[in-house]
Structures are given as C-alpha cells and as structure tokens.
Amino acid sequence: MGFLDTLLGKSKLPQPKSDKLFAMSTAYVTLNTNLGLTSNGAGICFKPLEASRFQNAELEINQLLQQSCKETNTLHNMKKDTYGYLWVILSDPDFEDLVSTIYMVSETLKDHGFGEQLLCAVFKFRGEKDVFWIYNFKQGKYYPFVPDGKKRDSSYEFRLRSIMDKELPIEKETEKWYPLWDIPI
C-alpha cells in the first residue's frame, strides 16, 4: 500500500498471485521420494460474498468442476466451514490434476473479480503425520503446517522448510505461517 493510500485510509486488498501454485507439482516428487509423503487430497478456501454476482461465480465454478472433474476423474465437493469460509475439496490419485484444478478454480474466481477473497490453497500429504502445504495467494508463497493434536509440530515444519527451500517458494516471514485448524480435507 502506498503512502498516499495510507494517508487517506484507502483500503485495497492485494491481488492474488496464482502462478507460483504450480511449483508444487514438481516439488511433489521430492516430497514423495525424500520424505515418503503421499498426496491425500487438496482444497481451496475462499471467503464468500453476499452479492448475487458471487452466486453466479459459485455456480460457474460448480459447472466447471463437474466438467473438468469428469475428464480427470477428480472427486470434488463444496463445504462451508464454521468460520463461514467456502472450501472446494478435491481428491485425485493424479497429483498434476489436483494442482491444475485448484489453479482453474482460483482463475475462475479472479475472472469474476473475486480474487481478493481467496484465502489459500491447501495440499494434504500423508506420512508419519499429516502434513499440509498451504499456498497463500496474497504472497504467492507456500508454507508448511503440521498439526499435532492442538499444537503445531514446529520442528517438523522447519525441517520441511529446509528440505524444500530450493524447490518451493516458501514464505520467509514465519509469522505469516498462519495455522488452519480443522482443515476439512
């Protein structure tokens, strides 16, 4: 936000950056071979608006999902969580399909002018523990989230960061590694 915007108290939300999303498809190979993590679904989370135009966007996303998921055999559903955010949850054995479907949903929202409402995309992996890689659209960066009961397994998260640092654009400021509890994936 520029100086003048601050001075005049203008509120502008940053636009989402979806292009770095695809880094995950190559990084998955390393995650799989080096850490033994296997893909276990993905999701994209956004904040619904109360405008009627948003309902149109929602409808179009639903239609798009139905079409493209038929081609790729991706399972999908939409859920609203307790905070009132909408989730599109996908599961597909082919990891590439997961990434591209998530990208498609984010682009559809952007096309309708709702890109600012995108919260994040989440990729879930199964290993000795459930590992989530969360993509922050505002930063265009990934960060790891490993819930351990009610706490985070920070040491495992830092290990993930050091291993994946070269392959994924990882959020440098750890205070922006926002946790997401009860991810419905």
Partner 1 sequence: MKKWYHDYGLQARMFLTMFLLAVVYLFFLAVLAQYGNIGTSGLVIFAGIFLLIQFFLSDKLVLWTMGGRIVTEQEEPRLHETVSRLCAIANLPKPKIAIVDSNVPNAFATGTSQRSAVVAVTTSLKQRLSQPELEAVLAHELSHVKNRDMLVITIASFLSTVAALLARNMLFFGAGSRDDDRKGAGAAVIIFIVSIIVWILSFLLIRALSRYREFAADRGSAIITGQPSHLVSALMTISGTIERVPSRDLREVEAMNAFFIIPAVSGDSIMNLLSTHPSLEARIRALTKMEQRMEF
Summarize as ranges the residues that interact with partner 1 (CB under 8 A).
Answer: 1, 6-14, 47-54, 82-85, 112-114, 116-120, 136, 138-139, 150, 173, 175-176, 178-181
Distance CA 24, CA 138 (A): 17
Closest separation in Å from C-beta 57 to partner 1: 10
Residues sharing a CB contact under 8 Å with residue 100, sequence separation 6 or more, in sequence order: none
Closest separation in Å from C-beta 20 to partner 1: 15
Closest separation in Å from C-beta 34 to partner 1: 28
Name the one residue in this structure whose structure tokens are 């922050």: 136
Report the residue number, 17 or 161, with the smaller CB distance to partner 1: 17
Report the residue number, 11 or 33, with the smaller CB distance to partner 1: 11
CA 127 to chain centre: 19
* Terminal alpha carbon distance of the chain: 34
Report the residue number, 71 or 173, with the smaller CB distance to partner 1: 173
Task: At 77, list the tokens.
Answer: 């559903």
Angle between helices 23-35 and 95-111 (to 10 degrees): 150
Counting beta carbons within 10 angstroms of the beta carbon of residue 120, is it exposed (0 to 12), middle (13 to 18) or buried (19 or more)?
A: buried
Closest separation in Å from C-beta 169 to partner 1: 16
Report the residue number, 13 or 78, with the smaller CB distance to partner 1: 13
Distance CA 11, CA 14 (A): 10
Report the residue number, 107 or 116, with the smaller CB distance to partner 1: 116
Closest separation in Å from C-beta 145 to partner 1: 11
Task: At 179, list the tokens.
Answer: 């946790």
